[in-house]
Amino acid sequence: MSKWFVILASLGYLLLLFAVAYFAEHRQKAGKSIVANPYVYALSLAVYCTAWTFYGSVGRTISNGLDFLYIYIGPTIMAPLFMVVLRKIIRISKTYRITSIADFISTRFGKNISLGIIVTVLCVVGIIPYISIQLKAINISLELLSAGNQAGVLQPENWWADSTLYIAIGLSIFVILFGTRSVDATEKHEGLVAAVAFESIVKLAAFLAVGIFVTYGLFDGYASIFQQAKDVPALKKIFTLEGEGSYMQITSVLLLSMSAILFLPRQYQVAVVENTHEKHIKKASWLFPIYLFLINFFVVAIALGGYLLLNDSSSPDTYVISLPLYANQPWLALLVYIGGFSAASSMIIVEIIALSTMISNHIVLPAFLSIEKVQENLDKSIRVFIQNSRRISIVLIMLLALLFDKLVAEKYSLVSIGLVSFTAVAQFAPAMLAGLYWKMVSKNAAVTSIVIGFVIWFYTLVIPSMVGVGMIDQQIMTDGLFGLSILRPQALFGLEGWDIIAHGFFWSIFSNTFFLFLVSFLFPPQSRELYQAELFVDIDRMEIRGEEVSVIWKETAQVEALQQLVATFIGAERTSSMFESYATRRNLSLSGKADPALVGLTERLLAGAIGSAAARIMVRSVAKEKEPSIEEVLRVLQESQQIKEMNKELRKKSLELTKATEQLTKANQQLKQLDELKDEFLYTVTHELRTPLTSIRALSEIVFDNPDLPEEDRLRYLEAVIRETERLSHLITQVLSLEKYENGMQHLEVRPVDIAQLLHDNLASIQALISKEQLEVKVNIASLLPTIHADPYLLSQVFYNLISNAIKHARSSIQISAQFSDGQFYIEVTDDGKGIPLDIQDLIFDKFFQAKNQTLQKPQGSGLGLAICKKIIELHHGQIHVQSAPNEGATFRVILPMRLNEVV
Amino acid sequence: MKKRSAQISGRLIFFSVIFFLLLGYPFIHMANKPLNVFGVPLLYFYIMSSWLALIFFLIISQYVGVVKEKRNE
């Protein structure tokens, strides 16, 4: 394929990106954003997958086996934590208008200028090689596609003939046009995000296309590739991990990628600065891992396929594009090239924006704005200066990346350089994470830990690369620094045999974390740092609505001066709107002396444009500031803590009150229920009493009114009167008895009782009735039953009641049984009567159940017998149940414990 | 509300820790055998299926969260 055709295709694709970006910005201005949704957000996070993923993963598979997968598994493992960690970072960044990772760290530790500079320098040094490998990838794939195979690739003789240069120029123009239009870095670059999301789709589609082609076009599926590769010695490492060192290697890659997904400048840019709504994190936390899984699915197949078909004729880093060329599929190769171009360009675009903002806000502007003359003659031309400083930074970064590409990157694989960059940004992880959750981490600790981590990173990972390209003498690798063998860069303190990345990562992060805690304990945070710590760590608890963050600084300034200062940077119209909104909310006039909160608002508005450190310089230039003492800060923090505690106490009281109200409502309901029960009970008792009384009265009147009544009838009536009187008396006795049980007035007279004897006595006393009803009695009482400790009189009452009930309902027989098992007595009284319907089995132990259910066939009795039985058994700590089925009789089972120790 | 948020955070941290352990030593060592599953090496199969399982749990976790929120509403 002609080189010029490929370059033209690249420029054409760049034009397409311009169109996508322009369209997105046009929609944003029209208020119809195409970016503000979780899908585009997830796709923009996929900027994580660079040319390193697209080409380098295959190369890494051949050289190191499966550990490349951990570069993508790390972010997937972090994905569940997005809702915890990333959301907090976003919330803080939006509240304090933080624009980059350097800004974040600098703001957290007291808006410290030097910390911002250190983080920026580390980012630039760590990321430039990473950008350079993107350019390298574009260059290699372009040359390969033009030449048709590896052997045909020729390096250009003149620098101006190098196609990478023109690609770099094109990308720089794109970034300058769509990334530096606004001075306010917190403003969303919707055009850019749309382009990045579009590129994510293109690179995924291209990779899947080549993966499917290799797996199913050149081979017969995954299993077939593995089958053919299993006997190739060089590919053994893809089948199993070799040696104990492999585990350390994958663990370090896993940890590195877990930190990279949050702390790489480009990830911070898309995940935090460009985030339009916090809720998008939720869906992105599973959409993004799916993307990572898909883009890696065919990597092993391409690696094995490439090795089997191309062997040594091609570098493993280029298998992705070499395989379609080998199979004579130039259009597929072109698609792959565009996919790789997308992967590389999206990374370059976002990374350069992030870095240029950092350079401008943390190096150029603090230095420039510190000059007194600049402060005195500040006008709106400063905005042009800011934009130009960012544009120059973009060009500078691109030039440095090109230079690195020509001097160093050509000699290294894509993935090796990528992991070195990952280790560089991992140095922010301890300070960032500790800063998010621990208030006592100090600025000095953050500076020390990052610097030490950076130095060790440089010594263990960058020095060996410099030795590799001949920039430093080889001797340092073999003899160590100053001839000390314990200082050998790849075997520091004698730690030998580790993978270079695992080694560098271990020592840099270990030292970094160690010094972070050590220095924090030795040099605790100062007043400003403590204040910032409070604002960051407790972001969720802070009462923050825009500018209404509590301000403790003693600053005095004129409102007009502040307004003018902000207008210089972000424009008069926007400033006026923000200040007026503030004044309306606080019912203040926009003249005279500004209150501390307005000074705070000014600083935050400026921070969005020029970074927190430079904003602080500018505010100081118009506001007379007196640094508060540590006691004052502590007092304010203490007050804040007291308010929090008071709120907590109030919440606790409120909860207690709610609980008490619930209990009162419940008690009230119970009282109502009891009242209803009492009414019901009175009604039933009076009804039951009236029935025999009516009979007595009627019969007595007959006898009274008829003195000449025959003797036989008179006696019969008087007998009935006596019987009804007895019934009445029995009923009253039972009611009184029940009342005693319910009031807890009934006492037990506990003594050893022979259950078997008690049952036999009851049977004997009721024998006349049994004979009258002509019933068969089956007795099954276990021999040698132990003695129970109970009230014999009351138990006898229960058994008598149950047996007499059984007699009343039985058709032909009753059965009485008693057993002892597991320390309990089981006594059963069974009849073969009509049985008790299931739905009323639980109700028959209620008072007057029979009386209340007149529709049931009513046998003789008051309806209190079973209720009393239940009370007596419960007094004995026992249970009583009924088992019955229609027409199959009923069994009443009494369960009693053997010993009642503390019976009332 | 706060309690629910803490519960969700706890569940998410639990997922991360579990899969971090599952994909690290010693679990990975247990899968590091010269065996094949459906024609692919056991180690590769284990890593890819664990990865997929984590994604599946993430989706399910979100779905359960959404259903609970709707029910609370």
pLDDT tens-place string over residues B16-72: 899 999 988 888 888 888 888 888 999 999 999 999 999 998 888 877 766 666 666
- Give the containing element (helix H, strand E) for A892: strand A890-897
| A614 plus A641 within the same structural domain | no
Which residues is A820 bridged to in the sheet?
A825
**B25/A247 touch (CB, cutoff 8 Å), yes or no:** yes
In a shared domain, residues A162 and A275: yes
| CATH number for A671 | 1.10.287.130
In chain A, the N- to C-terminal Cα span, in Å, equals 103
Nearest CB to A286: which of B8, B34, B59? Answer: B59
Place of tokens 């036989």: A712
User: Do A697 and A736 fall into the same domain?
Assistant: yes
- Quote the strand ranges of A74-218, DSSP E: none
A719 domain-assigned: yes
CA proximity to A176, closest of A388, A422, A402, A4: A388
Question: Å from A287 to nearest chain B CA?
Answer: 9
Q: What residue type is assigned to position A211 of the chain?
A: G
**Helix crossing, A596-610 with A572-586: angle to 10°?**
150
- Residue entry with tokens 């307004």: A563
How remote is the C-alpha of A89 from its chain's centroid? 14
Do the beta carbons of residue A610 and residue A569 sit within 8 Å? yes
Inspect the interface and report whether the beta carbons of B32 and A283 lie closer than 8 Å: no
List, in order, residues 6 or more apart from A359 with CB less than 8 Å away.
A120, A124, A389, A390, A393, A396, A397
Output the pLDDT for position A118.
92
φ/ψ region of A438 (left if φ > 0, alpha if ψ in -120 to 50, else beta) reads: beta
CB–CB of B39 and A76 under 8 A?
A: no
Say if residue A554 is in the same domain as residue A478: no
Query: What single DSSP character describes residue A509?
Result: H
Q: Per the structure, how many domains does chain A have?
A: 5
Please tell me whether residues A612 and A658 are part of one structural domain: no
d(CA B18, nearest CA chain A) in Å: 9
Domain boundary among A612, A628, A644: A628
Burial readout A314-323 (b: 16 or more C-beta within 10 A, e: otherwise): bbbbbbbbbb
Give the end of a domain, one of A691, A709, A742: A742
Q: How far is A242 from chain B (nearest CA, A)?
A: 9
The reply to whether omega before A859 is within 30° of 0 (cis) is no
Asked whether residue A423 is domain-assigned, the answer is no
Of all residues in chain A, the one with the smallest CA distance to B38 is A223
Classify residue A904: in a domain, yes or no: no
Domain coverage including residue A737: 632-742
- Shortest CB distance from B51 goes to which of A73, A223, A250? A73
Q: Which tokens hold the place of A780?
A: 């099954």
Q: Are residues A554 and A651 in the same domain?
A: no
Residue ending a domain, among A351, A386, A411, is A411
Closest chain B CA to residue A283: B62
Q: B29 to chain A, minimum CA–CA distance in Å?
A: 8
Measured in angstroms, the CA of B73 and the nearest CA of chain A are apart by: 17
Question: CB–CB of B43 and A241 under 8 A?
Answer: yes
pLDDT recorded at residue A731 = 79
Structure confidence at residue A856 (pLDDT): 45
A645 neighbors A539 (Cβ within 8 angstroms) = no
In chain B, residues with a C-beta closer than 8 Å to the C-beta of A79 are 58
What DSSP letter does each residue of chain B carry, written as one string?
A: -HHHHHHHHHHHHHHHHHHHHHTSTTHHHHH-SS-EETTEEHHHHHHHHHHHHHHHHHHHHHHHHHHHHHHH-
Q: What is the pLDDT of residue A235?
A: 87
Q: What CATH number corresponds to the domain at position A348? A: 1.20.1730.10
A758 and A792 Cβ atoms separated by less than 8 Å: yes
CB pair distance less than 8 Å for A222 and B40: yes
- Shortest CA gap B49–chain A (Å): 10
Q: Which residues of chain A have pLDDT under 70?
A: 148-159, 161, 185-186, 409-416, 541-556, 624-645, 848-862, 900-904
**What is the reported pTM?**
0.69
Residue A717, in any domain of the structure = yes
> Could you tell me if A611 and A498 lie in one domain?
no
Q: What is d(CA A851, CA A861) in angstroms, rounded to the nearest whole number?
A: 9
Q: How far apart are CA B31 and CA A815, in angstroms?
A: 67
Phi, psi of A288 (to 5 degrees): -65, -45
A228-277 pLDDT, tens digit each: 988 888 888 888 887 777 888 889 999 999 999 999 999 999 999 999 88
Interface test with A, best of B14, B15, B28 (most A CBs within 10 A): B28
Which distant-in-sequence residues (6+ apart) come within 8 Å of A32 by Cβ?
Answer: none
CB-based contact B39 A226, cutoff 8 Å: yes
The C-alpha atoms of residue A416 and residue A461 are separated, in whole angstroms, by 10
Closest chain B residue to the Cα of A73, Cα to Cα:
B51
Q: Is the peptide bond before B26 cis (omega within 30 degrees of 0)?
A: yes
Which helix (DSSP H) or strand (DSSP E) does residue A145 occupy?
A: helix A113-147
Residues of B in contact with A293 (CB under 8 A): 51-52, 55
Q: Is the domain of A638 the same as that of A623?
A: no
Q: Is residue A290 part of a domain?
A: yes
Torsion of CA A289, A290, A292, A298, to 10 degrees: 150
Find the distance separating the first CA and the last CA of chain B, reported in whole Å.
Answer: 12
pLDDT at A681: 74
* Residue A849: per-residue pLDDT: 67
- Would you list the DSSP string of A624-676? EEEPPPHHHHHHHHHHHHHHHHHHHHHHHHHHHHHHHHHHHHHHHHHHHHHHH
Same domain, A397 and A444: no
What are the chain A neighbours of B29 within 8 Å (beta carbons)?
241, 247
Report the residue of chain A nearest B40, measured CA to CA. Answer: A223
Residues A132 and A265 in one domain: yes
Determine how many CB atoms are found less than 10 A away from the CB of residue A640: 18
Q: Do B55 and A77 touch (CB under 8 A)?
A: no
Does A241 contact B44 at a Cβ distance shorter than 8 Å?
no
pLDDT at A547: 44
Q: Does residue A881 sit in helix, strand or coil?
A: strand
Please tell me the predicted confidence (pLDDT) of residue B36.
Answer: 87
- Contact call for residues A327 and A340 (beta carbons, < 8 A): no
Q: What is residue A480's DSSP assignment?
A: -
CA distances from A348 to A56, A167, A398, B46 (A): 16, 11, 9, 34
φ, ψ of residue A50 in degrees (nearest 5): -100, -165
Q: Which of A240, A251, A283 sits opposite B43 (nearest CB)?
A: A240
* Element containing residue A777 per DSSP (H, E): strand A776-781
Instruction: Give domain status of residue A902, yes or no.
Output: no
B59·A77 Cβ contact <8 A: no
Provide DSSP, A586-605.
Answer: HT--SSSBPPHHHHHHHHHH
Asked if A156 and A234 sit in the same domain, the reply is yes
Distance CA A16, CA A840 (A): 80
Locate A311 and state its tokens. 């062997």
Contacts of B65 in chain A (CB under 8 A): 282
State whether A76 and B28 contact (CB < 8 Å).
Answer: no
Q: For strands A813-821 and A776-781, give the pairing.
A: parallel
A51 and A87 part of one domain:
yes
For residues A113-148, one letter each, b for 16 or more C-beta atoms within 10 angstroms of the residue's C-beta and e for the rest, the string is: bebbbbbbbbbbbbbbbbbbbbbbbbbbbbbbbbeb
The residue written with tokens 């007043």 in the block is: A527
